[in-house]
């Protein structure tokens, strides 16, 4: 994959070496030689990843990273710190400042490209969800003020390791902060992962009985777990296995012997990132739901119904089964708003919608068509059955008063309903028009009644079976 990478180092030869290595792999490389320039370029050019040296004059890499992560405009850019420092305390300081990973000089090419590819994959996915969230906000579907500060809420971790000493150590480290499940058997772990809502999988790459990379691959290929972060425990001698794992999709690793502080920081980073991803994904799904539903009633809106009705009619043509449609309108609804106010009117609309929902099948489609008008689409239903259901709905509205305004007001209300059935090769527009004409006839004839739009007998009526109600 191609990407723009910002390389930051005060030593020109170091910059040129990294620039040459990345350019050979067809990355677009931008360079900076001090912290202030790096911050300015990151803001202006929005690189996909930053390779940041730690030891620089004026402003060291830790401070640059902190400022990048504190600015919402650059906080999403992955940062790999490149340093001659190799102590665990230095790695912890870098991770706490917001760095996503560490490389130690001299930089190993395989390690460099494994980390770059891994973080770029993650950023591409995150960018997609962020873009969808921003678009939803611009359209007014969701509010960016809905964002919550990420905080670990007793996250669940599955530790997969058959080394007893390592397992005891992990239990001690995690016990106070997280809900930890310890599983030495990788086949059992896979079952647990598919059935449980975990926030992190910690997997030892040193197993005497199973192939841990196979498990990592299955986690990434399964729909239930493909977004689950994977943190691996690696021996110094297993670097080749680690690089293969990074290519598969491992998110992070800790080298043995395990440094407790480094493990804690890397664990927290992965869980916070998972929660951020979950929030973006949840907002996306919520925005999709809000885009197709009516906010007052929770029923589908007119746009969704129109599109879905066409699909239902296409299926009906192929299966030779009828689709019935009814349009309902609350009688004399305007005086309710004029006399009692729009709050009472909204209560009536919500109660009316609830009664519709209790009277139709799960396969039927109910929507708010606009104002006080509602549409119910009934697949695999003939006209006789549809008219029976329509009459039942009419009685439910007329026979029981609408209790609204916190049970302070009872209103006697009725509705008029127009019903029709699809004909062969019919489009949604003509079906809706015929039902609408039947509705207006019901209103002209005195309201509080069901009118069935006459239509010629079709092949649907001759050949189809009808779902029982």
| pLDDT, mean of residues 65-88 | 88
Q: Is the pLDDT of residue 361 over 70?
A: yes
Q: 């589908």: which residue's tokens?
A: 300
197 touches 169 (CB < 8 A) = no
The pLDDT of residue 343 is above 60: yes
Give the pLDDT confidence score for residue 231 in this predicted structure. Answer: 94
Return the closest-CA partner of residue 385 out of 264, 466, 454.
466
Q: 116-173, pLDDT tens digit by residue?
A: 988 888 888 777 766 666 655 554 445 544 444 444 567 899 999 988 888 889 899 9
Give the containing element (helix H, strand E) for 156: strand 156-160
State the SS3 of 306-369.
HHHHHHHHHHHHHHCCCEEEEEEEECCCHHHHHHHCHHHHHHHHHHHHHHHHHHCCCCCEEEEE
Structure tokens at 178: 């997280």
Geometric angle at alpha carbon 119, from 117 and 125, rounded to 5°: 105
396 Cβ contact partners less than 8 Å away, ≥ 6 residues apart: 355, 359
Q: How confident is the model at residue 48 (pLDDT cuts 50, 70, 90)?
A: very high
More confident residue, 135 or 287: 287
Q: Which residue in this structure is represented by tokens 């879905």?
A: 308
**For 383-432, what is each residue's pLDDT tens digit?**
999 999 999 999 999 999 999 988 889 999 999 999 999 987 788 899 99
Q: What is the pLDDT of residue 147?
A: 47
Task: Determine how β-strand 323-330 pairs with β-strand 230-234.
Answer: unpaired
pLDDT at 15 over 90: yes
CA 276 to chain centroid, in Å, comes to 11
The residue length of the chain stands at 469
Active site residues: 372
Helix, strand or coil, per DSSP, at residue 107: coil
For residue 228, pLDDT beyond 50: yes
Tell me which DSSP letter residue 157 carries: E
Cα separations in angstroms, 126 against 123, 130, 332: 5, 6, 50
- Per-residue model confidence (pLDDT) at position 129: 66
Q: Is the pLDDT of residue 76 over 60?
A: yes
Residue pair 172/178 in contact (Cβ under 8 Å)? The answer is no
Q: Percent of the chain having pLDDT more than 90?
A: 49
Q: What is the pLDDT of residue 42?
A: 97
Tens of pLDDT along 190-221?
A: 899 987 789 999 999 988 788 999 999 999 99
Q: Pick the more confident residue, 301 or 140.
A: 301
Across the chain, what does the average pLDDT equal? 86
| 416: β partners | 329
The pair of three-digit structure tokens given for residue 138, joined into one six-digit string: 């611009």
Check: CB of residue 36 under 8 Å from CB of residue 67: no
pLDDT at 403: 93
All structural domains of the chain, each given as residue ranges with its CATH number in brackets, are 1-107 (3.40.50.2300), 143-290 (3.40.50.2300), 302-463 (3.30.70.270)
């Amino acid at each position: 994959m191609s990407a723009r990478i910002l390389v930051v180092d005060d030593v020109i030869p170091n910059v040129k070496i990294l620039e040459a290595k990345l350019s050979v792999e067809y990355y677009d490389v931008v360079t900076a030689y001090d912290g202030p320039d790096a911050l300015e370029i990151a803001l202006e050019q929005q690189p996909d990843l930053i390779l940041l040296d730690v030891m620089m004059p004026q402003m060291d890499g830790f401070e640059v990273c902190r400022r990048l992560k504190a600015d919402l405009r650059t906080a999403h850019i992955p940062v790999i710190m490149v340093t001659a420092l190799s102590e665990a305390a230095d790695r912890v300081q870098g991770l706490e400042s917001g760095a996503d990973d560490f490389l130690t000089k001299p930089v190993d090419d395989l390690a460099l490209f494994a980390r770059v590819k891994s973080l770029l994959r993650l950023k591409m996915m995150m960018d997609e969800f962020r873009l969808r969230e921003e678009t939803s906000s611009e359209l007014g579907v969701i509010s960016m003020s809905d964002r919550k500060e990420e905080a670990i809420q007793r996250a669940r971790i599955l530790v997969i390791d058959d080394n007893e000493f390592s397992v005891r150590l992990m239990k001690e480290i995690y016990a106070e902060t997280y809900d930890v499940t310890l599983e030495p058997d990788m086949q059992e772990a896979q079952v647990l992962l598919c059935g449980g809502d975990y926030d992190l999988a910690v997997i030892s790459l040193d197993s005497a009985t199973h192939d841990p990379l196979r498990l990592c691959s299955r986690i990434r290929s399964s729909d239930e777990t493909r977004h689950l972060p994977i943190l691996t425990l690696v021996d110094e001698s297993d670097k080749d296995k680690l690089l293969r794992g990074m290519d598969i999709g491992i998110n992070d690793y800790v080298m043995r012997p395990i440094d407790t502080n480094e493990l804690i920081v890397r664990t927290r980073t992965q869980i916070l990132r998972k929660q951020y991803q979950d929030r973006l994904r949840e907002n996306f799904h919520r925005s999709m739901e809000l885009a197709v539903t009516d906010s007052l009633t929770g029923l589908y809106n007119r746009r969704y119904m129109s599109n879905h009705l066409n699909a239902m009619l296409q299926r009906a043509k192929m299966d030779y089964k009828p689709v019935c449609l009814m349009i309902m309108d609350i009688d004399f609804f305007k005086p309710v708003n004029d006399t009692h106010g729009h709050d009472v009117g909204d209560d009536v609309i919500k109660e009316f919608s609830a009664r519709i929902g209790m009277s139709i099948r799960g396969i039927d489609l109910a929507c708010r068509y606009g104002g006080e008008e509602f549409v119910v689409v009934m697949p695999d239903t003939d006209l006789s059955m549809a008219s029976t259901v329509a009459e039942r709905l009419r009685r439910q509205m007329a026979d029981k008063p609408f209790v609204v305004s916190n049970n302070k007001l009872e209103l006697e209300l009725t509705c008029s309903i127009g019903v029709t059935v699809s004909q062969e090769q019919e489009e949604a527009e003509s079906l809706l028009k015929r039902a609408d004409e039947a509705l207006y006839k019901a209103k002209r004839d005195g309201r509080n009644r069901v009118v069935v739009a006459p239509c010629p007998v079709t092949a649907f009526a001759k050949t189809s079976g009808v779902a029982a109600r």
